[in-house]
Structure 1
Amino acid sequence: MATQRPQTRIQKRNRAAILDAALDVFSLHGFRGATLDQIASAAGLSKPNLLYYFPSKEAVHGALLSQLMESWLEPLEALQASGDPIEEIVDYVLRKLEMARMLPRESRLFANEIVQGAPRIIDQINGPLRILVNEKAEVIRNWSNEGRLAPLDPHHLIFSIWATTQHYADFDVQVRGILMPEDDSHFHDAAKFLEHLYRSALTPKSNLR
């Protein structure tokens, strides 16, 4: 079988430009509203040039989603059973909030895909994501059973963390429209609030006396 030639510097640069432009276009218009013409224009390339790297809109979108799923799983993978329960979960909350600050386009890309029924990543949701969430939920459940966390449903805890952190990316316009922050200053306030919220909710009542 013939080996694939390594990409040249220009090819790597063009591919990266296409994916970066596509992230803008898809996160703004969604998969259905985005076009290859829009992506090519945003990347500063012709449509035929874009098609040299990706044969279709689906191929571009799929490449982005593959990268996204890898980065999306990392913070939850980092939650360790051997660590302090509250610190591990609070660290996870803060990592997810930082992702919302640093990767807002990626978050909106993921949200758009989910809203459409996740047709292009449903296998990953039902597979690797589900396996990982169930694994970490069992860790959290064990912590609760040991009395190291307040009694809670671990799956809904994880869902609540996603909701309270990704909100700052997916509803960025709404948040900024209400708070009128300077730059990203509201993320500092959000971090303090969420840390207090989750520490309070996670601490066993016996530890509050």
Structure 2
Amino acid sequence: MRRQEAEALILSAAEKVFAEAGFGGATMQLIADVASLPKANLHYYFPTKENLYRQVVQNIFQIWLQAADIFDQADGPAEGIGAYIDAKMEISRRHPEGSKVWAAEVMHGAPVIQDYLETTLTDWTNGRIAVIERWIAEGRMDPVDPRHLLYMLWATTQHYADFGHQIETLNGASPLTDAQWDAAKANVKRIILNGIGANDLS
């Protein structure tokens, strides 16, 4: 097995285990069992459990960062925030375990990734705040607090991953269909964009 394939297999298994057991409850042996690999293989690619955990957290955050690239390229908030909502909802659909790992870590005070929050996340957030403030200054949207808008976007889109079991239960014990996901994205965009006075999706 090539290095890239092995690392992807390990990270996928680690996402599942960390999402279910948390950092404290997870073990390298359990992750190895889920990945169907010898434990020694895990230590070859990731020397410690913390090293593997940080990579899982960094991976989901990098995926989120890529989803936000549209902010810098968009002509205005309808396009930029609308595309960001679409992307974040799709990430919640495709990478629910990674989102749950991030949420659990932060809810416990970020004991492992606090430095990441203070550097990478802070820099990213300040950059998006500047873009939103520019849109407000240009009269493209209502003068809302950019931080609270970002918090709302994160909470709403990541809810579909972090509380996926609850959504599935309320959906008749069935996962959302493709049509239901499309409807969810459309509704979230309409509610938020209308709420900030940026509802021109044309």
The answer to whether TM tops 0.5 is yes
Counterpart of 1:6?
none
Q: Deviations over 1:93-121 (max 9, x none)?
A: 11111111111111111111111211222
TM superposition score normalised by structure 1: 0.86
Matches within 5 A, 1:113-192: 113-180=105-172, 182-185=174-177, 186-192=180-186
Q: What letter matches 2:191 in structure 1?
A: L
Provide the aligned C-alpha RMSD in A.
Answer: 2.1
Moved more, 119-128 or 33-42: 119-128
| Cα deviation, residue 181, structure 1 | 6.5
Counterpart of 2:44?
52
In 2: Cα distance, 1:143 partner to 1:12 partner: 41
In 2: Cα distance, 1:17 partner to 1:203 partner: 44
- Confirm or deny that 1:76 pairs with 2:51: no
Pick one of 174, 177, 194 that aligns with 2:188.
194
Q: What letter matches 1:198 in structure 2?
A: I
| Cα deviation, residue 13, structure 1 | 3.1
In 1: Cα distance, 2:55 partner to 2:76 partner: 36
Gaps of 5+ in 1: 1-8
Q: Deviations over 1:159-183 (max 9, x none)?
A: 1000010000000001111122754
Counterpart of 2:97?
105
Higher alpha-carbon Rg: 1
| Cα deviation, residue 188, structure 1 | 2.1
Q: 1:80 to 1:181 in 2, by over 3 A?
A: farther
Q: Deviations over 1:34-65 (max 9, x none)?
A: 11121111111232333233222112112222
- Confirm or deny that 1:29 pairs with 2:24: no
Q: 1:32 to 1:195 in 2, by over 3 A?
A: same
Q: 1:203 to 1:175 in 2, by over 3 A?
A: same
Pick one of 7, 12, 15 that aligns with 1:15.
7
Moved more, 191-200 or 69-78: 69-78
| Cα deviation, residue 143, structure 1 | 1.5
Q: 1:15 to 1:82 in 2, by over 3 A?
A: closer
In 1: Cα distance, 2:5 partner to 2:128 partner: 38
Q: 1:190 to 1:54 in 2, by over 3 A?
A: same
Aligned-pair identity (%): 34
List, as ranges, runs of 4+ consecutive aligned residues in structure 1 with deviation greater than 6 Å: none
Gaps of 5+ in 2: none
Q: Does the Cα contact within 8 Å between 2:71 and 2:131 map onto a contact in 1?
A: no
| Cα deviation, residue 27, structure 1 | 1.1
| Cα deviation, residue 136, structure 1 | 1.3
| Cα deviation, residue 204, structure 1 | 6.4
